[in-house]
Amino acid sequence: MPSTRLLLLPLLAALLLAGTPAQGRDTPLPAAAAKALARAQVPVEAVSVLVTEAGGHGAPLLSLHAEQPRNPASVMKLVTTLAGMEILGPNWTWNTPVYVDGTIRDGTLQGDLYLQGQGDPKLVVERLWLLLRRVQSLGIRHVTGDIVLDHHAFAVEPQDPGEFDGERLRPYNAGPDALLLNFKSVLMTFVPDATAQVARVHYEPPLEGVQLQATVPLAPGECGDYRSTLRAAVDDPARIAFAGRYPAGCGEKTWPMAYVDPARYNVRAIGGLWHEMGGTLGGQVREGRVPGQLKPMFEFPSLPLAEIVRTINKYSNNVMTQQLFLTLSQQQLGKGTLAGSRIIVQDWWRRHFGSVDEPTLSNGSGLSRSDRISARGLERLLQYAWSSPLMPELLSSLPITGQDGTLRRERWHAQGAAHLKTGSLRDVAAVAGIVHAKGGHRYVLVAIVNHPNAAATRPFMEALVEWAAQQTPHVRRRGQPQAGAE
């Protein structure tokens, strides 16, 4: 017969474990968060939550289904941006080489001009103008041959911009391109002229060979949904027009719109901008490859990677993230491919975290139905970032609740109390980042919802952040084992 002492040992062990919850044990949601989740009609089974002390190693303050892999939407950008800054360095720049094949004399290039894309994620109109201005400052105002655009540094299949969510004219759906110009979009600015009773329309960049309607009749009244009122006709690649009117009450407005024929965007944008700047061209703008024997006339640098990451995370820019993701394999393997970049990011993850909680990535941006990562995996990533020399760069890239980026227009009770990356797709809502609590304490917070009612869970997320902002670290008595330790 076993002794009474031996029978009591399992009971004693259970009682001790009850006092020090294990890392994987679920804990109840705060009351306000639980109520918000119930109002959204989302079951707890569809939710993962993890809140831990930043830099700490104790038991979680809050844990619910933390090991369950879920779709994090754009929160996956945290993986890509941190891996990118570690692999490339925060001061990394993309350089766009410019070549001439011919001789320059009296303002004329007798030959061809080449622009070779290397993946710059933010070669927008202003910077493209600076690049072409640099060409002109070297004595080239007229090109007798062609302007040739080389985008072979990336090997990606052409994408249907509307395939993912049906919004083919939204700039965020632009596909990656080694020579990505202005997100393949046109920025239209509407300026009312009350005297002439029209709104004048300015286009950036001008697109060569495209008829651009210069004015739209004014309509009286308040602004409202001015984009619907304009009745834009953009399906014809050779014409942008408006069948409606522009409400006078809108004042000046800007409308960014993806060009309907993205495969021809670069040719039209370079041609239009070159001629607007006073340049002339004997041949045409076309796609091609840089001849192997040529040396660059100069290289046009991008903004530093840390600044690019700030734009990516603050505004959740999908195509810029994909540009960074593809650059990883372009730099290490010689060609930017999604498959190659997945291998590089997976290897990076395993070096730091092993194979546990390893994410499943499609294109690095989170714009995917197949992406998966657990709340525990994201928490481990953020804890690693917290102790990393890159912590200031990553933290400053995250939106601040109620103040900027994707959280600027949200009315959070915990105003300014957290740096959070947000993510949303149909049936997906997620946040992950750092909450700044009382007394200078910091907490890592991750929450992911995968459910048809996910879009209704913002009050739930807000309640979690507000709760975390009120917490203080657990204090252990002398000799008490650390919670969660084995």
The pLDDT tens digits for 469-486 are 999 875 433 333 333 333
Intra-chain end-to-end CA distance of the chain, in Å? 31
User: For the chain, what percent of residues have pLDDT higher than 90?
Assistant: 82
Round the CA-based radius of gyration of the chain to a whole number and report it.
27
Greater confidence (457 vs 21) lies with 457
CA distance 162 to 21: 47
Q: Provide the pairing of β-strand 142-143 with 108-116.
A: parallel
Q: Provide the pairing of β-strand 232-233 with 239-242.
A: antiparallel
C-alpha distances in Å from residue 430, one per residue of 117, 368, 378, 460, 468: 34, 14, 11, 11, 16
Return the pLDDT at 151.
Answer: 95
Q: What is the per-residue pLDDT across 370-398, written as a single tens digit (0 to 9) for each?
A: 999 999 999 999 999 999 999 999 999 99
Residue type, 66: A
At residue 55 the predicted structure's pLDDT band, cuts being 50, 70 and 90, is very high
* Ranges 20-24, 131-135, 273-277, 432-436: which has the least confidence: 20-24
Q: Residue 48: name the closest of 357, 345, 438, 399 by CA.
A: 357
Q: Residues 418, 334: contact at Cβ < 8 Å?
A: no
Return the pLDDT at 408.
Answer: 86
Return the pLDDT at 410.
Answer: 67
Return the pLDDT at 158.
Answer: 74
Q: Extract the tokens encoding 112.
A: 């061809």
CA distance 77 to 479: 41
* CB-count exposure of residue 126 (10 Å: 0-12, 13-18, 19+): exposed
User: Would you say residue 163 has pLDDT above 70?
Assistant: no
451 secondary structure, DSSP code: S
Return the pLDDT at 381.
Answer: 98
Q: Residue 418: name the closest of 61, 427, 406 by CA.
A: 406
Q: How many CA atoms lie within 13 A of 181 on its CB side?
A: 31
User: Would you say residue 442 has pLDDT above 80?
Assistant: yes
Name the residue with tokens 């997976």. 346
Q: What is the 3-state secondary structure (H, E, C) of 394-406?
A: HHHCCCECCCCHH
Return the pLDDT at 161.
Answer: 61
- Complete edge-to-edge strand list for the sheet that includes strand 246-247: 246-247, 215-219, 198-204, 185-193, 253-258
User: Would you say residue 334 has pLDDT above 60?
Assistant: yes
Q: Provide the pairing of β-strand 185-193 with 253-258.
A: antiparallel
CA distance 459 to 429: 12
Q: Which long-range contacts (CB under 8 A, 24 or more apart) does 338-342 make?
A: 338/156, 338/362, 338/363
Q: Provide the pairing of β-strand 147-150 with 285-287.
A: parallel
Give the torsion sign (CA, 392, 395, 400, 401). Answer: negative
At residue 164 the predicted structure's pLDDT band, cuts being 50, 70 and 90, is low
Give the mean pLDDT of the chain.
Answer: 90
Return the pLDDT at 24.
Answer: 54
* CB-count exposure of residue 71 (10 Å: 0-12, 13-18, 19+): buried
Q: Extract the tokens encoding 373.
A: 């990562």
At residue 166 the predicted structure's pLDDT band, cuts being 50, 70 and 90, is low
Overall average pLDDT of the 304-320 stretch: 97
Go through 265-294 and write b for each residue having 16 or more CB atoms within 10 A of its CB, e for each that does not. Answer: bbbbbbbbbbeeeebebeeebeeeebeeee
CA distance 94 to 151: 14
Overall average pLDDT of the 91-108 stretch: 97
Q: Residue 53: name the closest of 450, 453, 370, 474 by CA.
A: 474
Q: Extract the tokens encoding 480.
A: 């008490």
Q: Residues 245, 216: contact at Cβ < 8 Å?
A: yes
Q: What domains are defined for the chain?
A: 24-90+306-469 (3.40.710.10), 119-299 (no CATH)
Overall average pLDDT of the 461-474 stretch: 90
C-alpha distances in Å from residue 138, one per residue of 98, 262, 286, 297, 440: 12, 30, 22, 9, 54
User: Would you say residue 13 has pLDDT above 70?
Assistant: no
